Structure 1
Amino acid sequence: MMKADVKVVILGDVNVGKSSLLNRYTERRFRSADTTIGAAFSLRQWRQRTVSVWDTAGREQFHGLGSMYCRGAAAVILTYDVTNRQSLRELEERFLTLTDTAQPDCLFAVVGNKSDLTDDWVAIGETEREAPTPASPAPKVSKQVFKEDAISLYKQLLKYKMLNEKDFPVAEAMCFETSAKTGYNVDLLFETIFELVVAGIVKNPGKPSNTVDLKHSMDSKPNKSSCCT
C-alpha cells in the first residue's frame, strides 16, 4: 500500500493551466495538458518525505469532488489565469468553500498562471525566465489580474478561515505569477510549498501527518478533452 506523508492540492477553474504547471515541474518541459476529469496525482520526494500533489478538475460538473480531494490537505494552491479576471472570481465564488475539509492550519498559495501571454511579459526580462519558449510567441493580451489582486484574495482567505495572519507566511511570499509554458517561477512555487509543509511535519512531530492512501484513490487518471497553458 502506497502512502504519502502530506498532501498538496491544486484548485482552480478549467483551462487556467493547473495540469500544465504540474507537468512543467515534474517533467521539466511544457506539455499541453488535457482537461482533467476527477483528479490526477503525482508523488514527489522532499527532504525524506513523500508529498502527493493532486491536480483537480476545474469543470463545473466535477465541482463536488473538490472537497473530497481537499480532505486532510496540508496546502492548497489556488490557481487563476492572469488574462482572465473571471478565473480569479471563480476562486472566491466556487473554490474557497471546497477547502473547508483541509487541515485547520492549511497553507495557501494564490497563483496567477499564463504570464507569458500578457503584453507586459517583456518587462520581466529574459534573464528571469527559466526556459525560452521554443514555439512562435502567441499574440499578447492585456493583463487582467495583478499580484495586488492575488494578495487581496489571500488576506480575504485567511479571514474566511478565521486564521491569524501572524501565524502564516506573509501574502507577498505566497502569491506567485507563473508561466507553465516557459517555466517562469514554477520551481519556486512548488518548492516553497514543499519546504513549508515538510517543515510543518518536522516542527510538530506529534501531529497526525494525514497520510494519504493512494491505492484506493478515485479518478486519479486524467482523461483527455482540451489543452491549456
Structure 2
Amino acid sequence: MPEFSKMRKPDVKIVILGDMNVGKTSLLHRYTERKFKDTVSTVGGAFFLKQWGPYNISIWDTAGREQFHGLGSMYCRGAAAVILTYDLTNWHSLAELEERFLSLTDTANHDCIYAIVGNKADLTGNQAQQVAGQDGPTEDQGEGGGVNPPSACPTPPASPVLLSRVTLNKQVSREDAVSLYGRILRYKGMDESNCLPADKMCFETSAKTGYNVDALFETLFDMVLPSILRNRTEREQSPTVDLEDHKETGKRTRARCC
C-alpha cells in the first residue's frame, strides 16, 4: 500500500447525530472548508477525515431522516465521541435527541464523550450574527499564515457586520441542554462526579457565521487524545497483517516464478 494511504488511516472516530435540518452537515463544512453552504439532506452518512497534529480523526455525518435511522448505530460503533446536535429555535429537535438518537450510541465506546450542541445561534441573538466579510480565508489569510482567529474564540471578525435583523424565538435554553446532558450520563450509567462537566460539553454554535464552531471541534479533538494514544498502543501490541501489503508481495512473488 502506498505510504500516503497508511498515514491517512483514522486513529479515532467522532459521530454527529441529530434530526434533519438542524445543520449537522453545515457545521462540518464550516469547520473543514471555512465557509457556509446551503446543503441538501444527507443520505445515509458522509465521511470526513481531519488531520489533527500527527493524528487522523474521522468525522461521520449521519442522516437525520427516519428512513436512515437504523444506520446510526452502525456509524456509532467504536466512536470515541458523539456530537448530539439540535436546533436552538426548535424544541422538538432537542427532544428527538433523547427519544430517537440516544439509543443509537449504545454501540459507541464505553468511555465515549458526549457533546450537546445547539446550532443556528445566529437566528437567536446579535452576538452570534457577527461574521467576517468573507466566508473563507483570502489569499493573504490562508491556512499557512496571515491573520487566523484563535481557535477558542467564536471566529471574531476584523470588521464585523450584522446579518439580517430578523431573529427567531430561542426555544431551547442552556439549562435545557445541561439537563439533557445529565440524563445522558445517567442513561449510560456514568457517575456525574467523574465525568466531564456540563458547562464544557454544552455548546451553542452557528454554522452560518462560524460562531463557536472551532471551539466545539477542537475541544473534542483534545478530549479524544487519550483514546487515540490507547488505540495506537493496542495496535502496536497486537499487530495485524496488512492485506494490501500482502497482496502486493504475492504479486511480486508470482512474477518472479514466471
TM-score (norm 2): 0.74
Q: Which moved more, 1:138-147 or 1:200-209?
A: 200-209
Give the corresponding residue for 1:98: 104
Give the corresponding residue for 2:79: 73
Residues 37-186 of structure 1 aligned to structure 2 (within 5 Å):
37-118=43-124, 121-122=125-126, 126=130, 129-130=154-155, 136-137=163-164, 139-186=166-213
1:167, distance to aligned residue in structure 2 (A): 2.9
Give the corresponding residue for 1:196: 223
TM-score (norm 1): 0.83
The structure that has the greater radius of gyration is 2
Give the corresponding residue for 1:215: none
Paired-residue identity, %:
58
For 1:137, what is the secondary structure of its paired residue? coil
- Pick closer, same or farther for the CA change 1:122–1:66 going to 2, 3 Å: same
CA contact (8 A) 1:47 1:198 kept: no
- Pick closer, same or farther for the CA change 1:138–1:7 going to 2, 3 Å: farther
For 2:57, what is the secondary structure of its paired residue? strand
1:46, distance to aligned residue in structure 2 (A): 1.2
CA contact (8 A) 1:46 1:198 kept: no
CA contact (8 A) 1:7 1:51 kept: yes
Larger helix fraction of residues: 2
Alpha-carbon displacement from aligned partner over 1:113-166 (angstroms, at most 9, x marks no partner): 001111xx1256859752668895162111000111111111100100001223
Give the number of the structure with larger relative contact order, counting CA–CA contacts within 8 Å between residues 6 or more apart: 1
CA contact (8 A) 1:10 1:76 kept: yes
Q: Tell me the matched-pair count.
A: 207
Q: Could you say what the CA RMSD is over the residues aligned between the two structures, in angstroms?
A: 2.4
Alpha-carbon displacement from aligned partner over 1:63-104 (angstroms, at most 9, x marks no partner): 000000000000000000000000000000000000000001
Q: 1 CA distance for matches of 2:235 and 2:99?
A: 31
- The partner residue of 2:214 within 187, 194, 198 is 187
Give the corresponding residue for 2:149: none
Task: Give the letter aligned to residue 181 of structure 1.
Answer: K
CA contact (8 A) 1:177 1:185 kept: yes
- Pick closer, same or farther for the CA change 1:204–1:23 going to 2, 3 Å: closer
Alpha-carbon displacement from aligned partner over 1:27-81 (angstroms, at most 9, x marks no partner): 0011112110000011011131110000000001100000000000000000000
